[in-house]
Amino acid sequence: MKPFIFLFLFFFTLQSNAQNTTIAAGEKLVFSASYNMSGLLTDIAEVKMETSEIKTSKNTLLRLKCTATSYKNWDNFFKIRDLYESYVNPKTLTPYLYKRDIDEGGYYKFMQYKYSHLSKLVKSLKRKKNTDGTYWEENKTVKIGASTKDIVSTLYGIRNLDIHKANPGDQQEFTILFDNKEIALNIKYIGKETIQTKIGNKECYKLAISLKGNNLLKGDNSNLIWLTADANKVPVYAKFKIPVGNGELKILSATGLKN
C-alpha cells in the first residue's frame, strides 16, 4: 500500500526552476481527505500544508511542512500520523534537506535526503520498524537528474509556473525522487473551470496527472487537480483513482497567502 499522504501530495507535484514569487513563510492550507468506503466518500483525515522561516548559522531557509492526521473516530480503525517536510532556498525553492516520517496503522518508515546538487547526488537514510519493535537503518547514495527534487519541494514549485501561458492539451513530464527511486509523471493542462469551495467560488486551472510506467493511478483524466487561477495558485480540490478505490481532497481554509 502506498503511504496515505503520498496519494494526496502526488496531485500537487510539478517542478520549477523559476524565482519564487508565490510562496511565503506563514502560509497555512487545511484540507479534508476522503476515501470511497462502501460506495460513499467518507472524510477520514485532515491534511495541512504550512510554511515557516528557519534560520541556520549560514542561511535562512523556508520550511515546507505537510502533515496528515486521521480524524479521532478513525484512529481505532486506521490511525494515520504522517509528516513530510523539505527545507529549501526561499528564492528558488531548491531543497537542501528532506524528511518523511510516516506512521499508518502500525506501519512505520522514516526517510531523509541530504542534497548535493553540484554532484547530482542525494545521501539517503531509511529507517523502518521490525515486527519485534526494533528498528533497522539503511544509508545509501542516490544519483539523481539535474531537475529531480523531492515531492514536497516540487509540490510547492507548481505554484510558480506560468500556467496562464499554457493552452488546453499542453503536456510536460517531470521527475520526483520517492523511496530512492526517480518517478516520471506527466501533467496535462485541461483548461479553466470555476468550482465552489469552502473558501468561495474559485476560477481554477484544471490539470490531469498520469504516471509513466506505473499503474498506481487509474483511468484517463480520472486524476485531476484544481489550482486557483490567480497569483497564489492555491490547490483547492483533487480527485484520484487507484487500483483499490478513489478519493478526494477538499480545501477547508487558506491563510497567510503571499498575494
Question: pLDDT tens for residues 127-165?
Answer: 998 878 888 999 999 999 998 999 899 889 878 888 889
CB 23 within 8 A of CB 258: yes
**Residue 72 φ/ψ, nearest 5 degrees:** -55, -40
Provide the percentage of residues in the chain whose pLDDT is more than 90: 60
Q: Report the range of poorest mean pLDDT among 42-46, 50-54, 212-216, 234-238.
A: 212-216
Query: What are the grid coordinates assigned to 199, written together?
Result: 473558501
CATH number of the domain bearing residue 197: 2.40.360
pLDDT of residue 244: 64
Domain assignment present for 259 = no
Quote the pTM value. Answer: 0.88
Mean pLDDT of 53-67: 94
Which of 26-30, 105-109, 154-158, 190-194 shows the lowest per-residue confidence on average (mean pLDDT)?
A: 154-158
In a domain, 160, yes or no: yes
Q: Is 187 contained in some domain?
A: yes
In a domain, 198, yes or no: yes
At 253 the three-state DSSP class reads strand
205 within a domain of the structure (yes/no): yes
Distance CA 119, CA 195 (A): 44
Cα–Cα dist 192/43, whole Å: 27
CA distance 34 to 214: 23
Q: Is 248 within a domain?
A: yes
Chain segment 239-255, per-residue pLDDT in tens: 887 766 678 999 999 99
The Cα 227–Cα 204 span in angstroms is 5
HSE-CB of 46 using CA atoms within 13 angstroms = 12
- Amino acid, single-letter form, for residue 85: E
In a domain, 127, yes or no: yes
Domain housing 112: 4-254
Q: How many domains does the chain have?
A: 1
Residue 131 CA, chain-centre distance (Å), reads 29
Dist CA 33 CA 82 (whole Å)? 13
CB 62 within 8 A of CB 25: yes
Does residue 8 fall inside a structural domain?
yes
DSSP for 188-228, written as a single string: EEEEEEEEEETTEEEEEEEEEEEESS--SS-SSS-SEEEEE
Q: Which helix (H) or strand (E) holds 71?
A: none
Give 206 or 9, the one with higher predicted confidence.
206
| Rounded Cα–Cα distance for residues 23 and 62 (Å) | 9
Please tell me the distance from the alpha carbon of residue 170 to that of residue 190, in angstroms, as a whole number.
8
Question: What does each C-alpha distance from 99 to 15, 38, 51, 144, 179 come to in angstroms?
Answer: 18, 34, 15, 17, 11
Q: How far is CA 119 from the centre of its chain?
A: 25
